[in-house]
Structure formats: C-alpha cells, structure tokens
Amino acid sequence: MLFWVPVAGLSLLLIYNTLPYFSFSKDFSFIEERSFLFKSNFYNTCFYIHIFAGALCIFTALIQFSRYILKKTKAIHRFSGKIYVFIVLFLGAPTGLYMSFFAKGSFWERSLFLFMAGWWFITTLNGLTTIHKKNVMAHKVWMIRSYAMAMTAVTFRVYHIVFYLLDWGHLENYELSLWISVIGNMLFAEWVIYRQGKNYLRSFAT
C-alpha cells in the first residue's frame, strides 16, 4: 500500500494533467518551445497519439498489477493487457521513437529517448511472446520492465519538481531528471524482479 497508493495517485494526476492538451490549444509551454515542429502535421499527429497512448498505458498498467483483479477477474487482466500491448507496440513506442529524434537536449538525451522507445517496445513484445508460450514468470518479468519504462513519464515529473524547488536551471533540471528517471526506473525494476524471484524460490523451500 505504501508503494501503490502514491504510484496510483501520481499516475492518475499525470493522466489528469494530460487531458488539457486535447483541447488542441497551442498555449502550452511544451508546444510553444517547439512551435516549429508543430508546423509539421506528422509531428503534430505523433505528439497527440503519443500522449494519449502514454496516459492509457499508465492507466491499464495499474490494472495489470492489481493482485485482486488478477485473482478474481482474470478476464479484465487479459483484456487490459491486450490494450496495453497494442497501445505500446503500435502507438506509444513507434511515435516515441520518431519524436526522440527531435527531443530537447543534447545528442545524449535524444539517444536516451531513442533507447527508451526501443526498450519499451522490446520488453512489451517479450512480455507478449512469453505469455503466448505459457511462461508466466518470464511474462511477469518482462512486463515489470515494460511498466518501468511507461512510468518514466511519472517519475520524470516528480524529479523535475524536486529539482525545480532546489532552484536548478531549466535545462540542467530537464537533463538530470530524465537520466535519473530512466536509469532509476530500470534499476528499481530489476530490484523488484530480484526480490520476487527470491520470494518465489523461498516458497518452494518452506
């Protein structure tokens, strides 16, 4: 509860903050900073698809990791999982990959966005193929990694607010928040996988 309550709260807050973008107003700082990019209909379309995909992925992922839903109503787990996988593989990751070439920051930040999109796609695809092979443990491992990538949208904003309160410069804040979010989420995912693996093995020993 100490983990999932803030995660769910921050995820829902991110989704709520995404909604105003669908007024299609251009009066947002993110859009104003990249006004030259939004003159391209293709980039404009990719942006709105990406933020819609991200919000929906975060929402469906919360359902995926609910033990209650998994035990009581597996049909909801399967249905939301299919939505998540479809959104990532066909909308979220491809648009993120394209937009990474125009991301703010240096070559390294753009490379990091490129990696994020690719790793999000790979982990989700592996999660799909492993469950088709009835390998539940491998499926869970890969989906934890996929979820960690989806949650960078949330953790980035948390770090960004913290560093803003510490009076960091805008670009330095952006770059540091991005790197800590991605690397931190990946390390945390591996820690969760390691802990759950130990608990799984311990259950056989007792």
**pLDDT value, residue 59:** 83
Q: pLDDT (tens digit, 9 = 90+) per residue, 33-83?
A: 888 999 999 999 999 999 999 888 888 877 776 666 666 677 887 888 899
pTM across the whole model: 0.88
pLDDT, residue 103, reads 92
For the segment 166-181, what is each residue's pLDDT rounded down to a tens digit? 999 988 999 999 999 9
Residues with Cβ < 8 Å from 151, sequence gap 6 or more?
Answer: 7, 11, 58, 61, 185
Q: Is the pLDDT at 10 greater than 70, yes or no?
A: yes
CA–CA separation, 77 and 83 (whole Å): 10
Higher pLDDT pick, 205 / 154: 154
pLDDT tens digits along 114-138: 999 999 999 999 999 999 999 999 9
Q: At residue 27, does pLDDT exceed 70?
A: yes
Residue 149 above 80 pLDDT?
A: yes
Q: What is the pLDDT of residue 68?
A: 66
pLDDT above 70: residue 2: no
Q: Which runs of consecutive H residues, i.e. helices, occur in the chain?
A: 4-18, 29-33, 41-64, 67-72, 74-87, 93-100, 107-132, 136-150, 152-165, 170-205
Q: How many other CB atoms are found less than 10 A from the CB of residue 160?
A: 19
Give residue limits of the domains in the chain: 4-16+27-153
The percent of residues in the chain predicted with pLDDT above 70, rounded, is: 89
